[in-house]
Every structure is written in structure tokens, then in C-alpha cells.
Amino acid sequence: MADSGSLRKREEKEEEDDIVCLDPSFFVDRSYEMTTFTFGSHELRLLCLRAASTDFDLTGQLVWPGAVLMNNYLSQHPEIVKGCSVVELGSGIGITGILCSRFCKEVVLTDHNDEVLEIIKKNIELQSCSENAHAVLTAEKLEWGNSDHLSGIIEKHPGGFDLVLGADICFQQSSISCLFDTVERIVRIQAGKCRFILAYVSRTKVMDALVLKEAEKHGMRVEEVNGTRTTISNLEGVIFDITLK
């Protein structure tokens, strides 16, 4: 009869045999579709997914409600970004930054995820043959709060930016402090001139309060843009204009 020690070892081996190790690529969906988006008189053709690989932090592969809110706003008020240098945080597929390229002189699209950066770059390449794009479009890796990532971008753009854009990027409580750390560092390069325009979509009361609290903590003033509060995808959205006090 097998002793208890041998039985336990056999059971442990059977448990190990049952473990399936999946490569991270298993979670990555690259079945992108060419999709047409229309904002006012502007039409964009971009690659995106219909649903995101949320199990592997690839939510940037599709278009979120806040991006639609932001793009509708900018298409109606192109003077806000006309001739500006812009950096977008959490660009996803790049839909907002690419729309801005119709009006801006320079747009830097950023995301922290390498897979998402690849789709941004593919969508930037699609603009190279467009007669409507006027800005220089580039993509950079930026994890909020990562000093090395941000320093690399600032080194390439020592004069800073006129605008920081963020569309539907406030959905994880743990990331909000790092987000505002990053925004503050960028806007202080052109203190008093650079603004942070945030297309905010309300999902929880806790997050609503946290965003305002972090802005205040970082010495920023949050002003709701009149006439922008609306319902989008059954959620309440609004445009915030955020500046240093």
C-alpha cells in the first residue's frame, strides 16, 4: 500500500498536469476591421475592434463613448485645437488625435500598452495618404506616472504642448493620481498657457469625486464647458477644461 507521502506527491503531480500555461498572445485579438466614423463634416477611416480584449488590458482597441463626445465637441469647435501642438493621453486607436490632425500642427498620441500602440501606428500610417491630415502625427509609449516615459517625450518636445487631451480615460481609481501627476508635469512646461481638455464619462459617484479631488490636489481648476453635458451610450458625459490655478 502506498504511504501518505507518496499519495500526496502523486496528487500534486496530477494537479500540475492540469495547469495550462497560456502565452499572453492567447488573449490578444487582432481581428481589426476598417471602420468609418463621421464627426460633423469630417470622416475618419480607422482600424479597430468591435469589442476589446479586456482580460489582457487591451481596452484601447475600440472606441469608447468619451472619444465620441470629445470628437463631436472638437469637430464643432476646431478653433480650440487649430494650429496647436497636442499630446493625447490614453489614445486607444487614435481616433481623437487623428481628428485633431485635421486642424493641428503636431499631435503626439500615447498609450501604455504595446499592442495598442501598434494599432495606433497602423492608423497613423493610414493617414499618410489622406489629403485632410495637416499635422505631424507620432505615437509614443507613456504609462502615467512613469518618469522615464514622460522624460523621453519631453526631451523630443522641450517646448511642451499647447493642449493635453484625454477622452474617457478615467475608469480605474488606482490610475487617477498618476494621471494627474503626468498632466501636471506637462502643463507646467507652459505654465498658464497649456490646458487639459478632458472628455469625462460618469460611471460611479466615487470616481466623479476622485477626479475633482485629484485636480484640486495638483493645483488645477476644473471648469465644465457650457453646453457639453449630454447622454452618450446611456451614460452622462461632459467636457472639462482644466488649467493650473
According to DSSP, the β-strands at 195-202 and 230-232 are unpaired
Local structure of 227: helix, strand or coil: coil
What's the pLDDT at 22? 38
pLDDT of residue 75: 96
Q: Is residue 117 part of a domain?
A: yes
Residue 196 lies in a domain: yes
Cβ atoms 161, 142 nearer than 8 A = no
Residue 18 in any domain: the answer is: no
Q: Is 55 among the domain residues?
A: no
Count Cα atoms within 13 angstroms, Cβ side, for 146: 15
DSSP for 76-118 reads H-GGGTTT-EEEEES-TTSHHHHHHTTT-SEEEEEES-HHHHH
**Cα dihedral across residues 169, 173, 179, 184: positive or negative:** positive
Report the predicted TM-score, pTM, of the whole model to 2 decimal places. 0.84
Q: Could you list the residue range(s) of the whole structural domain that residue 123 is in? A: 61-244
Looking at residue 194, which CATH number applies to its domain?
3.40.50.150
Q: How far is 238 from 231, CA to CA, in rounded Å?
A: 9
Give me the tens of pLDDT residue by residue for the chain, a chain 245 residues long: 545 555 555 555 555 545 544 344 444 566 788 989 999 999 999 998 765 444 444 455 668 899 999 999 999 999 999 999 999 999 999 999 999 999 999 999 999 999 899 999 999 999 876 666 678 999 999 999 999 999 999 999 999 999 999 999 998 899 999 999 999 999 999 988 999 999 999 999 999 999 999 999 999 999 999 999 999 989 999 999 999 99
The count of domains in the chain is: 1
Task: Give me the phi and psi of 140, to 5 degrees please.
Answer: -135, 145
Answer yes or no: are the C-beta atoms of 92 and 116 closer than 8 Å: yes
Let me know if residue 152 belongs to a domain.
yes
